[in-house]
Amino acid sequence: MPESVAQRVALLGGSFDPPHVAHVLLAQYVLLTGAVDRVLVVPVCEHAFGKRLAPFADRVALCELAFASVRHVRVSRIEEELPHPNRTLATLERLKQQHPQDSLRLLVGSDVLADVAKWHAFEAVVSLAPLLVVPRPGHEGQGPVLMPDVSSTQVRELLARRDAAALRELGALVPHDVLHYALENQLYAG
């Protein structure tokens, strides 16, 4: 579908440090259920709360690998164009400026709902892009849990270990190409 045609776009933002299977399944879920026409994956360039992250270029590459096989998903580098640290509101405003015909939704796991009070201008954010919430384990309340119980923190810890048991577990938690890239580039090595 040409991008000049109005579309329903879900913005899936985050650190993606690194991306894992739940991120990919989240995008696939909202596309398969018809909630949106496409998903825009937006890795943060610099974390708003000062959290240390792997280099932006590596996290973008990891996202491109993770989502490569999912139709109607695009990885965006928009965050590197905006002042650092960036806030979600500025990203949404820029996207709306670039594509005024699109309707935006902010795609989040239900775990994010506990932290909305910390967000900059949350009401303005949801005014521009109403939340599209998918339940995560331990954070139900929005419906049945549909995503596997995996976190980037857990993945980083396993990548730091790099032993046989950790590598076996990682095989079920991250897309193969993401794991290969992280190992080859010594990302998250202990």
Average pLDDT of the residues of the chain? 91
Three-class SS state of 57? helix
- What is the reported pLDDT for 154? 97
DSSP string covering 95-140: HHHH-TTSEEEEEEEGGGGGGGGGSTTHHHHHHHS-EEEE-BTTB-
- What is the reported pLDDT for 116? 77
Q: In what order do the strands lie in the sheet with 131-134?
A: 73-75, 38-43, 8-14, 103-109, 131-134
Residue 3: pLDDT over 60: no
pLDDT in tens, 23-40: 999 999 999 999 999 999
- What is the reported pLDDT for 37? 98
Give the rounded percent of residues in the chain with a pLDDT score beyond 90: 73
Q: Are 25 and 67 in contact (CB under 8 A)?
A: no
Three-class SS state of 14? strand
Residue 177: pLDDT over 90: yes
- What is the reported pLDDT for 114? 78
pLDDT in tens, 55-109: 999 999 999 999 999 999 999 999 999 988 888 999 999 999 999 999 999 999 8
- What is the reported pLDDT for 145? 64
Domains of the chain, CATH where assigned: 8-147 (3.40.50.620)
Assessment of whether the complete model's pTM goes beyond 0.85: yes
Q: Would you state the structure tokens that stand for residue 131, as one six-digit string?
A: 């939340």
pLDDT in tens, 38-58: 999 999 998 777 789 999 999
